[in-house]
Structure 1
């Protein structure tokens, strides 16, 4: 399998060399000899990008030293102004802004090719999905070793324009993409280009079944969102009418290639845990990257492009940015004032900006009611204890809310004390009704206080979903459900992140509806032990 992955990686680079409109390739592999052997196939004139590359380097800008020396504005070219191959190192660290800029460049100019080197160690450390969608290929060399590397056989390629494309091929590729749950039209278009490029690479003027099969494997396998089941045929397919013949060899011929053959080729390349990966990705969608929210500042954090501003208390002047803004006007200002030297005006002042991550607060809201105690409270406690240890290792704050009987109780305010949290969790009793709405209210109060302190709260609700106590303390199952929905709408309006873990033996529809109202991830985890519970929750939180 690893040898086949290497073959696909080298073939993808060859196809990119023939047709740059394929966009590029995402290579997931840590730095090492295997990746070095693959990247050695990239053209020597490829330009390197860093995930923190500035806009001036991308689009061009003022050449400060040359401008100051000559007295008139001299502009330097940016990396995106020249077409060719771009190599993005540490692509998993690329900011959303950089991903957007590169995506626009790929959309506007088909001659740009991007090689994204993804060095992520965890599943959630990956290339921005919007940028990845614009790259035709993706390979994972994590399991490849030097023993799996084979030499690439030289071939004599022909011009792409000489390859004849069957008229109905794009329709068939679109059907295959639909069967695999791929909703992007880029995928079948990429597959069509890849099939044509593979035919040209092999020196053929017509696309064959082998070309289409390779294209589907390279383009569709990493994009599939479901595993299509083989269709069972109880009856023999009807024989074609005797007057039909297939003696035409014109450019409009069909390949007569069954869809099931292509689906089987893609199915062979799908990972065994595809469904689990997709569930984790869906749970993480919209929940961010597992860290606190980004906040603008002027003192510390990751540097951001400076902005025009004025000198004030606490502001830090960007000297280089200020000089860049003032340089084009020096000749005019010297002529206007009649004096030499550097002329800096208030409009030239540029202020430094930084971005820092706020602390995250995980508010565990645990169901300790009778129904939960009889079924999953022990597993929930074990899962929360594991998650607490992980949160402590990341220096996150944690809070613990338990709801049982007729009310909810804050067992532990936000803290980083792992020992104290474990002690409170172990002493959590079970029994009584399920005041789910009361638990959500208490968690929401903690979330509001955390937001005011500059923290980023996330509420994790662990319950079996059988809410039967209303906010007023009455035993009214219908009113309890309405109260929970009302609190969920308030939480969503406030923008508080949440995750709903259904710990019941069977998935509860009411909890799924609650998660939809919260715009939160919903994880039904029946028959899961503490270890699996903790892994699923950590994945959904983006840890």
Structure 2
């Protein structure tokens, strides 16, 4: 099978599901990305093989963990406990729809249950952008990550016949096998111990699945492919070294090479074989990112801004102990729930208390919490120097107007900085007003030298100012990355380059989300090097118009639908 005709990803996903069903507590679960019929068929097959409970999207701590049934307790005059969903799903599978939208509080509860071995998760990831992902704490604990976005499978999947296997009957991995898996993880940039332990368990489970007592090289290759390859953050250099060191031998027949991994060349070590097997199955989209030196980035915020706690408005969260003052509201039900278990003891302490009264203390008080999303401010820093300034400024103006047209939908604002001559100027402060933006952009100047360092510093200061007001800042630089004016306004390319590099590193230290767009007629190496120093994304658009620039910026930013 050629790279142009890769195997359907449902094959590896079904194999991972079989291994998960053998020992759910050992693997923690699996993440299934991409809404497709194939994913629905796989979930259905797993439900036929074992009990699956579904996690509601807006579940609270009472339903998740269990606790006191307030109505029953008030009627009976004594605490009445009710079981939670985690207790009901103990020993089985818990299906989590839209896991990419899960809050940190629920993720923490589930992570604790996974550490105790009570449940195993099936995370359904419907994120559309690369940055959309379930919480990292759960992804770390789920052994298998499967992307079924491009799967075209439509036939039912049968997993019931191969799940009743004893993993304890398989011998533990030998030192050589463990060292080979560790070398593979290091070559792929997987530095956590959890995936390495899960890969070892996957090799043993695959051996049990195929009726072997001693895990073989085939089992290790499957483990590396299913557990380590989807987590790769870098490309292994093994292929390049192999091409340099291999002598020019006559071509040989390799027709049976794919039938069994054990039939590899005798001069190939075990760790080299595992690295090659894992690298060959890295998804194409991930492979493209790794080839550019860009590891997958995970975002805790949505396209409309970072999440922040609030006591007044937003998405409801679990209540917390506290006094209802300073705008915080009393959570009555949660307060009663905290007070009910202590009624018998308190009545003995206060024998004269009214019979039907609920005796509360200060420690029982709970206040409501909400999570609201901060506004996102996209700061354009435009190189307005040189003969191409008119084209760049026209594209920037158009992109600003297109983004402002969506401002009320995405709760976003736009600012504009232009750098030219010997200074950088904030032409448009953060705003949602399309009328104000058009008026400010109408007479935007252009021409002169390129004070790149000044533009970078001005954008960084603007982003810090935006953050200080509780908003999320994103920087978009439209430049070719070549400056000729230093940070102090003096001309000179050498000093200008050093100052620009220092300014880019300062942006990286602040951790500001940034994008460098090279829209010069002939893109060179300067803009990508600037993006690397800034730890920013890079995009080359030599013939960009306002619409394509706006689309590129929207795609590169972590964009989720505002709920």
Query: What RMSD in Å do the two structures reach over aligned CA positions?
Result: 4.0
2:143 corresponds in structure 1 to: 136
Work out the CA distance in 1 between the residues paired with 2:287 and 2:69. 51
Distance in 2, matches of 1:7 and 1:481, equals: 51
TM-superposed deviation, 1:67:
3.2
- 1:274 pairs with 2:286: yes
Shift of residue 524, structure 1, vs aligned partner: 6.2
Match of 2:432 in 1: 416
1:26 aligns with 2:34: no
Evaluate the alpha carbon distance shift between residue 320 and residue 373 of structure 1 in structure 2; reply closer, same or farther with a 3 A threshold. Answer: same
Say which is worse superposed, 43-52 or 110-119, in terms of deviation: 43-52
Higher alpha-carbon deviation: 133-142 or 280-289 = 280-289
Unpaired runs of 5+ in structure 1? 238-253
Q: For each residue in 1:401-457, what CA deviation from the matched residue of structure 2 results, as whole angstroms up to 9, or x when unmatched? A: 111112223332333345764676576453211233443455456546645655333
Pairwise CA distance, 1:313: 6.7
Residue of structure 2 aligned with 1:93, choices 67, 91, 101: 101
**Contact preservation (8 Å) 2:173, 2:204:** no
User: 5+ unaligned residues in a row in structure 2: which ranges?
Assistant: 250-265
Give the aligned length.
522
Residue aligned with 2:343, SS: helix
Asked if 1 retains the 8 angstrom alpha-carbon contact of 2:463 and 2:473, the reply is yes
Correspondence for 2:257? none
Q: Shift in Å at residue 200 of structure 1?
A: 0.9
Residue of 506, 510, 523 corresponding to 2:524: 506
Q: 1:192 aligns with which of 181, 189, 200?
A: 200
Q: 2:69 aligns with which of 63, 66, 69?
A: 63
Going from structure 1 to structure 2, the CA distance change for 1:257 and 1:56 (only over 3 Å counts) comes to farther
Q: Say which of 172, 191, 206 aligns to 2:214.
A: 206
CA contact (8 A) 1:124 1:289 kept: no
- Quick one: structure 1 residues 426 and 181, their matched pair in 2 at CA, closer, same or farther if it must change by over 3 Å? farther
Give the equivalent residue in structure 2 for 1:475. 491
Aligned in 2, Cα 1:299/1:155: closer, same or farther, shift over 3 Å? closer
Q: Secondary structure of the equivalent of 1:144?
A: coil
Cα 1:7–1:399 change in 2 (3 A) is same
- Post-superposition Cα deviations, 1:137-167, rounded to whole Å, max 9, x if no partner, equal 1222233345354545834865222223552
Contact 1:403/1:438 (<8 A) preserved: yes
Q: Are residues 1:38 and 2:43 paired?
A: yes
Q: CA deviation at 1:378?
A: 6.9
- Report the alpha carbon displacement of residue 87 of structure 1 after superposing the two structures with TM: 1.8
Write the distance in 1 (CA, Å) between the matches of 2:126 and 2:463: 34
Q: TM-score, normalising length from structure 1? A: 0.81
Which residue number corresponds to residue 54 of structure 1? 60
> What is aligned with 2:446?
430
Say whether the 8 Å CA contact 2:516–2:527 is kept in structure 1. Answer: no
Residue deviations 1:348-397 (CA, integer Å, cap 9, x gap): 33221211112221111111112764997777667666656665752411
| Alignment equivalent of 2:369, drawn from 353, 373, 391 | 353
Looking at structure 1, the residues matched to 163 and 299 of structure 2 have their Cα atoms a distance apart, in angstroms, of 47
Label 1:190 to 1:334 Cα distance change in 2 as closer, same or farther (>3 A).
Answer: closer
**SS of 1:364's equivalent?**
strand
Counterpart residue number, 1:116: 123
Give the CA deviation at 1:41: 2.1
Q: 1:433 to 1:98 in 2, by over 3 A?
A: same
1: CA distance between counterparts of 2:161 and 2:394? 62
1:173 to 2:181 alignment? yes
Partner residue in 1 for 2:259: none
**CA distance in structure 1 between the partners assigned to 2:548 and 2:417 by the alignment:** 22
**For residues 443 and 10 of structure 2, what CA distance do their matches in structure 1 show?**
54
Q: In 2, distance between residues paired with 1:541 and 1:115?
A: 27
Compute the displacement of 1:38 (Å).
3.0
Q: Does 1:220 align with 2:228?
A: yes
